[in-house]
Structure 1
């Protein structure tokens, strides 16, 4: 259940702003209190996480951002030097600390790690900078709408080929549910600029903006697909887009729509409601930058209204310089769908009636052993593709690994280690879509050869749901790889680590259990959905909770690491000894000075 203040925020400035527009502030407050059965003041958190002091409050310049993962690239592989973890460390992982998101039922903002801090957004719009080692709060910034994207930290390429922050202010970026992009000072938590990238009332930002060479490339999606459930609503006028912003100022450099022509009235329903087309083709994923070819790649979703056109369920290449469409390759034709199709005899349902199988996962550019480059893509129909970026996206190979469906197939992100591609499959037992499928669901994790598409191994998901409501065994969230390991959060609330050579599970953690958080309050996770784990400096950081679309709610950020064994030197006796990491001012009743020896 959402808290009263979260519902009020949604009706005022958030996802339900359109529905709340006709209500007075008093009415919106009454709605929020009625739905939760509690006054707004009752939802104020009784306990707050501690503020950092001393060393924990310091931002470590030696731990500058690295250009890995969402916001920079989509391969989702973290090398050992950055991860600070080896395969042998993973079975020893233990929970170090947890943060509660008060009043939330979902946690959909992927964290980022830099400067010895964890940066993460939340459902109520709060963005936190937390000490990586303890979870204390260095600063917090309250945005007016839910932050669903990853937090993107600015990097700049130096002449030596390494990434470093721009001189002066260190910036972070994120998008919110109201289609606004924000820049915030990463050290101070102060707003720098904010810009709305689309004026459609249902526009939103789901995919993470990608930072490259001083520009943010922002994918734009929308919730008009749900608004169309109202049979009196004129469906549909939204078109997916990518917007290029100057990262220094937020100024728009260019905007390119997935559908070139503007929607026009094409028919009238039996209720007298006008239908507009072409529409839809939202961009749910983070753009992939191809600096060598001077383009970026995105995948599109379904059309929202009939007739479907050739830009839905397609891969599109836009020129970095000006947003000109270089090529598009439709991977499935005739996909037009909206939520009206889940209702009986709703005239807003397109004639095609789906199947709603977006290209929702970010694409991955891979250079094969032959030297040939391919673009790898996953789709909700359960197919994985390799296409040729030099031949207009011609399909090199395609392999079906899942059954697919509206809540099936590949959702938020694959990972690539070397030339081994890891494809997570959602495939709900009951997609709640009223459809019949020609094959059983195949939830789990699958490894493919990126050069050929041939399966290397399969790891069908174990079903530990035991009848729990909204529990499913599959993997909707993005997966993350480190050398020898793939980390995958399942919809049953269990975070699993797979051996990347064999697919065997080598460690797991049930996030649905209650944990004591850094504030002293208890909280629990739920289904993993959207963001995947982030790994750096020996820590794994991940959100748990996805209380939407028939998934289990939760509201925690979880931080794992193996038990630390650090050599400490007694500067008085000169003896060196190994001990679990701790700070001791007095040993055996004697005051001594200690320092770590790495």
Structure 2
């Protein structure tokens, strides 16, 4: 919640009976104390659509000691709890708010400066290949069969776990739904320190590298659900800086930032597409982009917008509310960096309002120097869509009405065995593309693999090993709007030609379980000889590089005895959180309780028997 003190009227001034006040439910309390700001009365206040996917503990923390403490002062503790539970749709008890894992001993808590970061960030290398070589992973495909579960960590009060861990200094860094960032001991899972943010951290943590022999504390970088980007001390968890790169109330940071030569590149997405379901909402004003920061100081250097033109009023909807355009083209994915050409590559989503423009559902090359659009290659023209299209009256639905074919997965910058550079991209339409970075993104080849749909198609992330591109296919059942045969599973594609090398379909083993589907939505990760991907049925599978055969699997959709005596549960694999490999161990989150997927709250750590 963001401040609007004038909107809050004291109970005494209202003359209300204290007993009656105590019995009011969360909806009434929200209507009295919060709605005037979060319903649009304050431009920067996060909208209801954002509040509704926050953890109850995050909302309560904001009211009891955070940014909303002053505004919530006229509610007692019980009423604040009711508001938090009403907004999140989850109950909130004391035991849900504390992690049960033990604190580390002094020896386990010590930062190991000899253990520099395993990777460049979310994409493993600057090009987002998501390939863990043997030196980094400490294993190959031959070793996967020897893995066993070493420990599990329960995220308190969570129904989803989608922050990809990062490894450095002997620690594992990971965010959580309630806004807590944890530094865990990599080997045992004990807690070194915790840092509380404003809201859910659903992107992966990025660790700055340091010089060998240095003892200067490096920084960690990440963003939260309501649009704040953070830098914190990797050794102590102390805040170094925090900023909100754009004033839009629906701003959210979904993808991990990218770090290069002292600059932090932060992708900007939003949930304004949801707010547009309200006919009285003036849709829409958000523009996607990438914010650039001085990584050390936190000074914002600029924003590369995906739509050059600022939104303006272009008409009225059927109830007289302003229609505003152009809008949308959010960036849901981590940029792949190409310093040799001075650009970064991102994929964009659909426009939110009509008319659609030419940079939605596109791959953009953005200048690393000034943020300008160097080139753009649009894959789906005329895609304007918002949640108004899913309502009965469809007041805010653009006439284009979809099909909502974002690029949710990150681009990959690759070099073929023949020496040709290509930009690889996978779309929610179920198509995969190879583009020529030296010819303005000219399409080299395109291949339709899956049916596609509102949640993919290709959803959150592919992986690359040499000439082999691994493509996880969701083909989520989104209803009659996306007809055709679903082809959920894992593909291997030759990046030189687009030829399909193999396809392993995931058979439906859900047996009627609610929110269970066979497709692969989450990001995949490659090691030598295999690719590992988690599916929406809760099963993590390893596929042979050569044949596509599933030779190892682990069903996470069950309960786990977690550290400290807690009980955790796995669910669907989803979001841009794929398996992470480090020095003979594998770490992966399970649980994606949002958008009709199985909930869960567990981080799993595997090691050799």
Task: Decide whether aligned partners of structure 1 residues 13 and 269 sit closer, same or farther in structure 2, where only a CA change above 3 A counts.
Answer: farther
Offset of residue 500 of structure 1: 1.3
2: distance between equivalents of 1:470 and 1:44?
23
**Conserved? CA contact 1:8–1:28, under 8 Å:** no
Report what 1:538 is aligned to. 584
Report what 1:581 is aligned to. none
Matched, 1:9 2:58: yes
Task: Decide whether aligned partners of structure 1 residues 83 and 35 sit closer, same or farther in structure 2, where only a CA change above 3 A counts.
Answer: same
Offset of residue 46 of structure 1: 6.9
Q: SS at the partner of 2:132?
A: coil
Q: How does the TM-score come out when normalised to structure 1?
A: 0.88
Report what 1:81 is aligned to. 135
**Conserved? CA contact 2:383–2:401, under 8 Å:** yes
Q: SS at the partner of 1:508?
A: strand
2: distance between equivalents of 1:481 and 1:322?
34
Task: Decide whether aligned partners of structure 1 residues 250 and 34 sit closer, same or farther in structure 2, where only a CA change above 3 A counts.
Answer: closer
Matched, 1:445 2:490: yes
The range that moved more, 265-274 or 59-68, is 59-68
Match of 2:82 among 27, 30, 34: 30
Report what 1:130 is aligned to. 184
Matches within 5 A, 1:369-380: 369-380=417-428
**Conserved? CA contact 2:52–2:87, under 8 Å:** no
**Conserved? CA contact 1:235–1:276, under 8 Å:** yes
1: distance between equivalents of 2:88 and 2:255?
30
Matched, 1:243 2:283: no
Q: SS at the partner of 1:519?
A: helix
1: distance between equivalents of 2:53 and 2:278?
25
Residues 201-242 of structure 1, C-alpha deviations (whole Å, 9 max, x = no match): 000111110000010001000000001111110000000011
Task: Decide whether aligned partners of structure 1 residues 39 and 333 sit closer, same or farther in structure 2, where only a CA change above 3 A counts.
Answer: closer
Residues 481-539 of structure 1, C-alpha deviations (whole Å, 9 max, x = no match): 00001110100011111111111111111111111111211111111011101101111
Residues 16-69 of structure 1, C-alpha deviations (whole Å, 9 max, x = no match): x99x99996555432334678998554445762101114322222221113345
Matched, 1:49 2:98: no
Q: SS at the partner of 2:131?
A: coil
Matched, 1:319 2:352: no
Match of 1:155 among 206, 209, 213: 209
Q: SS at the partner of 2:114?
A: helix
Task: Decide whether aligned partners of structure 1 residues 193 and 107 sit closer, same or farther in structure 2, where only a CA change above 3 A counts.
Answer: same
Report what 1:498 is aligned to. 543
2: distance between equivalents of 1:444 and 1:4?
28
What is the number of residues matched between the two proteins? 550
**Conserved? CA contact 1:380–1:406, under 8 Å:** yes
Offset of residue 117 of structure 1: 1.2
**Conserved? CA contact 1:49–1:518, under 8 Å:** yes
Matches within 5 A, 1:541-556: 541-556=587-602
Report what 1:586 is aligned to. none
1: distance between equivalents of 2:389 and 2:485?
22
Task: Decide whether aligned partners of structure 1 residues 490 and 21 sit closer, same or farther in structure 2, where only a CA change above 3 A counts.
Answer: farther
Task: Decide whether aligned partners of structure 1 residues 319 and 435 sit closer, same or farther in structure 2, where only a CA change above 3 A counts.
Answer: same
Task: Decide whether aligned partners of structure 1 residues 512 and 272 sit closer, same or farther in structure 2, where only a CA change above 3 A counts.
Answer: same
Task: Decide whether aligned partners of structure 1 residues 482 and 38 sit closer, same or farther in structure 2, where only a CA change above 3 A counts.
Answer: closer
Offset of residue 415 of structure 1: 0.2
1: distance between equivalents of 2:214 and 2:506?
44
Matched, 1:484 2:529: yes
**Conserved? CA contact 1:5–1:40, under 8 Å:** no
Task: Decide whether aligned partners of structure 1 residues 216 and 485 sit closer, same or farther in structure 2, where only a CA change above 3 A counts.
Answer: same
Q: SS at the partner of 1:61?
A: coil
Match of 2:169 among 87, 90, 115: 115
Matched, 1:475 2:520: yes
Report what 2:159 is aligned to. 105
Report what 1:332 is aligned to. 380
Q: How does the TM-score come out when normalised to structure 2?
A: 0.86
Offset of residue 7 of structure 1: 2.3
Report what 1:63 is aligned to. 115
Offset of residue 331 of structure 1: 1.0
**Conserved? CA contact 2:452–2:482, under 8 Å:** no
Q: SS at the partner of 1:63?
A: coil
Task: Decide whether aligned partners of structure 1 residues 133 and 218 sit closer, same or farther in structure 2, where only a CA change above 3 A counts.
Answer: same
Offset of residue 311 of structure 1: 0.8
1: distance between equivalents of 2:342 and 2:106?
46
Task: Decide whether aligned partners of structure 1 residues 484 and 291 sit closer, same or farther in structure 2, where only a CA change above 3 A counts.
Answer: same
Q: Gapped runs of 5+ residues in structure 2?
A: 1-50
Q: SS at the partner of 2:55?
A: helix
Offset of residue 400 of structure 1: 0.9
1: distance between equivalents of 2:588 and 2:169?
18
Q: Gapped runs of 5+ residues in structure 1?
A: 159-163, 564-598
Q: SS at the partner of 2:81?
A: helix
Matched, 1:173 2:218: no
Match of 1:194 among 242, 246, 254: 242
Offset of residue 165 of structure 1: 9.3
Matched, 1:283 2:331: yes
Matched, 1:435 2:457: no
1: distance between equivalents of 2:532 and 2:192?
28
Report what 1:454 is aligned to. 499
Q: SS at the partner of 1:412?
A: coil
Report what 2:605 is aligned to. 559
Task: Decide whether aligned partners of structure 1 residues 170 and 498 sit closer, same or farther in structure 2, where only a CA change above 3 A counts.
Answer: same
**Conserved? CA contact 1:3–1:103, under 8 Å:** no
Q: SS at the partner of 2:531?
A: strand
**Conserved? CA contact 2:287–2:330, under 8 Å:** yes
TM-align CA RMSD: 2.4
1: distance between equivalents of 2:151 and 2:537?
21
**Conserved? CA contact 1:69–1:77, under 8 Å:** no
Offset of residue 12 of structure 1: 7.6
**Conserved? CA contact 1:4–1:32, under 8 Å:** no
